[in-house]
Amino acid sequence: MGIRYYSAMTQVIIVGFVCFLCPGMFNALNGTGGGGQLNPTTGNNANTALYSTFVVFGVLGGAIVNLCGVRWTIFGSGFTYALYSGSYIYLNHTGNGAFTIAAGAILGVGAGILWAAQGMIMVSYPREEEKGRYIAIFWVIFNLGGMLGGILPFAINYNSDSGSLSDGVYIAFVILECLGAFLGLALAPPAKVTRDDGSSVVLVKYTSVGREAIEILKLFMNPLMLGLLPMCFTSNFFYTYQFDNINGALFNVRTRGFNNIFYWGFQMVGSYAISFLLDTPRLERKKRGYIAFAVVFIVFNAIWGGSLALHNKYPGGLSLGDRIDFKDSKRAGGPIVLYIFCGIGDALYQTFAYWIIGALSNDGQLLARYIGFYKGMQSFGGAIAWQLDAKSVAPKNQLVANWVLFAISVPSMLYVVWSIKEHSENQDVGVGDAGVVDEEKTNVS
């Protein structure tokens, strides 16, 4: 293929579509509350299993990608998403959640590796002044998957309100996720990828299992990674409350799909909007970080304040027959707008977090480890949050926990932003798709 195929932007777009079809579909499924089931217990336990293995393989993911390359790790990981979605068909027919919970644990392995590979591509391929834009472009494509995944249950269940998604929705998810896995093979080896200025994303770099093990251990002694830890932990914790205790508890099944169209759609808006701030050349990089922090701080406090008001209106949720339909404009308007702002807030938070990590280095191997640490600690928080809901912890207590955790993350978030330098000290280095690049192996695949 021509040089455009090997451009950094093309590769970010390809990995964006992989995530459109795999994690995007998973997000849409999760966003319906309880994996689309009337009883969310199995979905909550599956998510606990998922995020528990994700903790380990998120942290290890960067090392695995450095050793095995991006194409085959993403290809294999994509099928774990299809297995998880397919497990709900079995659940629909048997009521036995064991397979779904096991599939969740397997998905945690695949997701940890996939997100490490995705993050490495997204934050190490662009030049420093382009990182916010590349993150936003990825986030827009990725969240198109969530939008499509919201359209599917909305359309297929439009005339049905059984409380659970039909087999047809799950089958559609499986097909799309398998396509995403195969699309991973379309990625070019990093050794062949070039930026718009003609520079390669890969210079000389060597790695081994021993070196990766040592570098992973160093992450837990790195002051900047420890500073990011509260932000990492909090960054998926809020999904449980938003998906299960707002969307899942207050709306009927077709309206959950309707809501997710806008939840994920406005994620694209939020990420793209903040990218202009994060990449503006008119401000020093640290100032951009402080302003972005202020935006995230204001938006999230507004979200949790609005959530508290909504909780006080519907403290026990709503029974199945009384759940809100999108056509009931008097009841639906406020809660739907709040849920949309939850999506915007998530996009601002995640884009900001990725930008911070990308600002710490330009080293592809190092960034793969940083992203793995971020996703692993993020999943640690997610595992706890899903299990709290599975154990029927009161929704108000979950809401308070989210607000408190966000407040705790604020000082350390500011510390990491304060530590950002105008230019990263590391050289642009990375690995080839087979895990090792040297001066005579720049075309390794």
CA distance 372 to 59: 5
CA distance 294 to 412: 14
CA distance 228 to 357: 9
Q: Give me the pLDDT at residue 428, please.
A: 40
- What is the greatest pairwise CA distance in the chain? 67
Q: Which residues partner with 7 through β-bridges?
A: 194
Q: Return per-residue pLDDT of the chain as tens, 445 residues.
A: 445 899 999 999 999 999 999 998 888 787 666 666 766 788 888 988 998 999 999 888 888 988 888 899 999 999 999 999 999 889 888 888 899 999 999 999 999 999 999 988 988 888 888 889 999 999 999 988 878 877 877 777 677 655 567 788 889 889 999 999 999 999 998 888 888 777 777 654 556 778 888 888 888 889 999 999 999 999 989 999 998 899 988 998 788 888 989 998 999 999 999 999 999 989 999 999 999 999 999 999 999 999 999 999 988 788 777 899 999 989 999 999 999 999 999 999 999 999 999 888 888 788 888 988 998 899 899 889 988 988 889 999 999 999 999 999 999 999 999 998 887 755 443 344 444 343 333 333 3
- 358-369 burial, b for 16+ CB within 10 Å, e for fewer? bbbbbbbbbbbb
pTM higher than 0.85, yes or no?
no
SS3 of the chain = CCCCCCEHHHHHHHHHHHHHHCHHHHHHHHHCCHHHCCCCHHHHHHHHHHHHHHHHHHHHHHHHHHHHCHHHHHHHHHHHHHHHHHHHHHHHHHCCCHHHHHHHHHHHHHHHHHHHHHHHHHHHCCCHHHHHHHHHHHHHHHHHHHHHHHHHHHHHCCCCCCCCCCHHHHHHHHHHHHHHHHHHHHCCCHHHCECCCCCECCCCECCCHHHHHHHHHHHCCCHHHHHHHHHHHHCCHHHHHHHHHHHHHHECHHHHHHHHHHHHHHHHHHHHHHHHHHHCCCCCHHHHHHHHHHHHHHHHHHHHHHHHHHHHHCCCCCCHHHCECCCCHHHHHHHHHHHHHHHHHHHHHHHHHHHHHHHHCCCHHHHHHHHHHHHHHHHHHHHHHHHHHHCCCCHHHHHHHHHHHHHHHHHHHHHHHHHCCCCCCCCCCCCCCCCCECCCCCCCC
User: What are the backbone dihedrals phi and psi of residue 73, each rounded to the nearest 5 degrees, phi first?
Assistant: -65, -40
Q: Give me the pLDDT at residue 202, please.
A: 67
Q: Is the separation of the CB atoms in 36 and 153 below 8 Å?
A: yes
Q: Which CATH superfamily is domain 8-419 in?
A: MFS general substrate transporter like domains (1.20.1250.20)
CA 190 to the chain's CA centroid: 22
Q: Please tell me the number of Cα atoms within 13 Å of 174 on its side-chain side.
A: 13
Q: Is the separation of the CB atoms in 226 and 44 below 8 Å?
A: no
Q: Which residues contact 203 (CB under 8 A, 6 or more apart)?
A: 427, 428, 429, 430, 437
Q: Which residues partner with 155 through β-bridges?
A: none
Give the torsion through C-alpha atoms of 217, 222, 226, 229, to 10 deg: -60
Each domain of the chain, given as residue ranges in start order, spans 8-419
Q: CA dist 100 to 74, 237, 238, 284, Å?
A: 22, 21, 22, 48
Q: Is the separation of the CB atoms in 379 and 108 below 8 Å?
A: yes
What tokens does 187 get? 């990625």
User: What are the backbone dihedrals phi and psi of residue 290, each rounded to the nearest 5 degrees, phi first?
Assistant: -65, -40
Q: Give me the pLDDT at residue 400, please.
A: 96
- Measured from the Cβ of residue 183, the count of other Cβ atoms closer than 10 Å reads 20
CA distance 23 to 236: 14
